[in-house]
Amino acid sequence: MKNKWMVLLLILIVLTNSKPYPVHASPKGSVEECIKNPDKCEEPESLNKSQMENSRNESLSIGFFDVFKTIFALVFVIALLYFLLKFINKKSQSYQQNRIVQNLGGTALGGNRSIQIVKAGNRLLILGVGENVQLLREITNEQEQQEILTQYNEQLEGSIQSADVVTKVAANIKDMLKSKRDEKNPNTFEEHFKNEMDAIKKQRQNILKELQGKGHDEK
């Protein structure tokens, strides 16, 4: 059973850590070739648009894949913990119910002393535990017995309800990520990419002018 959970966790780690890294080669030549043939360094308008569109689509597809992978990993872990916790609680509850003597709970009084409520068969006993065990009282009132047993069962089911709260939180996180992804405007990315390309183009032209000026000065 433990090996099965370990394999599932290893698969989850591999899925969450694998990430593609795109690499782009520069279509232009060196600076020396640009000086000799400036026309070759001019970027066609159609090429800029196609590169811009491809880069935008690639960025959006990678972002969607990352968000989907994160949501899937989160839901998988929460579901795994939920079913594991539910399974353990059921096993514990059935084991407690099949026992002749059950410890329903208690409280510490300090000095290694405590008061415990124990169910022995159909009897509920209040025991004082210290250097020895002493019977303090037996609960014979049926209504009081039912209240104690009901409270004990509610405490067992409380952990499962807490797992439901975690599931609701995960669903809220999923909706928040989805809304943020929908609010992204492709035009904003396109404008940002165009501004970056214009800045690179101006910087290249300035470098070419400086190199050409240095060439004339040397002559």
Per-residue confidence at 47, pLDDT binned at 50, 70, 90? very low
Per-residue confidence at 76, pLDDT binned at 50, 70, 90? confident
The domain locations on the chain are 100-159
Determine the average pLDDT of the residues in 52-75: 67
The pLDDT, as a whole number, for residue 164 is: 56
- What confidence tens digit (pLDDT) does each residue in 9-23 have? 666 665 555 555 454
Phi, psi at 20, each rounded to 5°: -75, 145
pTM: 0.33
CA distance 78 to 84: 10
Helices (H), 128-185: 142-183
pLDDT at 45 over 50: no
pLDDT at 118 over 80: yes
